[in-house]
Amino acid sequence: MMPLEVENLTFAYDGRSVLRGVSFQLMPGEVLGLIGPNGAGKSTLIRLAAGFLRPDRGTVRLFGRPPAHWPPRQLARWVALVPQGAYIPPTFTVWESVLLGRTPYLGFLGVPRQPDRAATRRALEWVGIADLSERLVGELSGGERQRVLLARALAQEPRCLLLDEPTTHLDIHHQVAVLSLIRRMAVECGIAVLIVLHDLNLAATFADRLVLLVDGMLVALGDPKEVLCRERLTAIYGDTVAVFPRPDDGGRPAILPRIGQGNLPAQGRIT
Amino acid sequence: MHSSNSSEPSHPNLFRQRRWLFLALGVGLLLVTATLGFAWGAVSIPPGVALRIVGHQLGQGSGPTDWPPAWETILLQIRVPRVVLAGLVGITLAVAGAVYQALFRNPLAEPYLIGVSSGASFGATLAIVLIWRLGRSGWSGVSLAAFVGALLATAAIYGLARVGGRTPVTTLILAGVAVNTLLSAATVFLMFSMQDAFQAMHVLGWLMGSLALADWEKVQVILPYILGGLAVIAWHAHSLNVLQLDEEQAQSLGVAVERTKGILIVAVSLATAAAVSVSGTVGFVGLIIPHIVRLIWGPDHRFLLPMSGILGAVGIILADGAARTLFAPRELPLGAVTAVAGAPFFLYLLRRQKREIF
Give this complex's ipTM: 0.88
Q: How far apart are the first and last CA of chain B?
A: 14
Write down the mean pLDDT value for chain B.
84
- Flag the least confident range among A174-188, A254-268, B204-218, B238-252: A254-268
**Least trusted range by pLDDT, from A257-271, B78-92, B178-192:** A257-271
What confidence category does residue A96 fall into, taking pLDDT thresholds of 50, 70 and 90? very high
Whether residue B199 contacts residue B129, with contact meaning beta carbons closer than 8 Å, is answered with yes
Read off the pLDDT band of B307 (50, 70, 90). Answer: very high
A47, closest residue in chain B (CA to CA): B248
Q: H or E stretch including A25?
A: strand A16-26
Query: What is the rounded distance in angstroms from the CA atom of residue A86 to the CA atom of residue A46?
Result: 14
φ/ψ (deg, to 5) at A54 = -105, 135
- The Cα B45–Cα B74 span in angstroms is 10
Indicate the pLDDT class of residue A259, thresholds 50, 70 and 90: confident
- B12 to chain A: closest CA residue: A134
Cβ–Cβ under 8 Å, residues A111 and A102: no
pLDDT digits (tens, 9 = 90+) for B220-230: 989 999 999 99
**In chain B, what's the furthest Cα-to-Cα distance?**
68
Give the pairing of strands A241-245 and A217-222.
unpaired
CB atoms within 10 A of CB B220: 13
Task: Return the residue of B nearest to A103 by Cα.
Answer: B253
- The C-alpha angle B280, B199, B183, rounded to 5 degrees, equals 50
Q: Find the chain A residues whose C-beta atoms sit closer than 8 A to any C-beta of B.
A: 47, 50-52, 72-77, 79-81, 83, 86-93, 96, 100-101, 103-104, 106, 109-111, 134-139, 156
Arithmetic mean of pLDDT, B42-46: 83
Residues written for chain A: 271
- Comparing CA positions, the residue from A111, A133, A123, A108 lying closest to residue A158 is A123
* pLDDT band at B9; cut points 50, 70, 90: very low
Using CA atoms, how far apart are residues A65 and B340, in angstroms rounded to an integer?
A: 58
| Residue B32 near chain A (CB below 8 Å) | no
| Amino acid of residue A172 | I
- Does B160 contact chain A (CB < 8 Å)? no
Residues of A in contact with B244 (CB under 8 A): 89, 92
Distance of alpha carbon A196 from alpha carbon A193, whole angstroms: 10
Its CATH architecture, for the domain B14-58+69-353, is Orthogonal Bundle (1.10)
Q: How far is the C-alpha of B358 from the C-alpha of B240, rounded, in Å?
A: 14
* Least trusted range by pLDDT, from A30-39, A148-157, B341-350: B341-350
* B254 vs A75, A93, A139: nearest CB: A75
Most A CBs within 10 Å, among B253, B353, B358, to test the A interface: B253
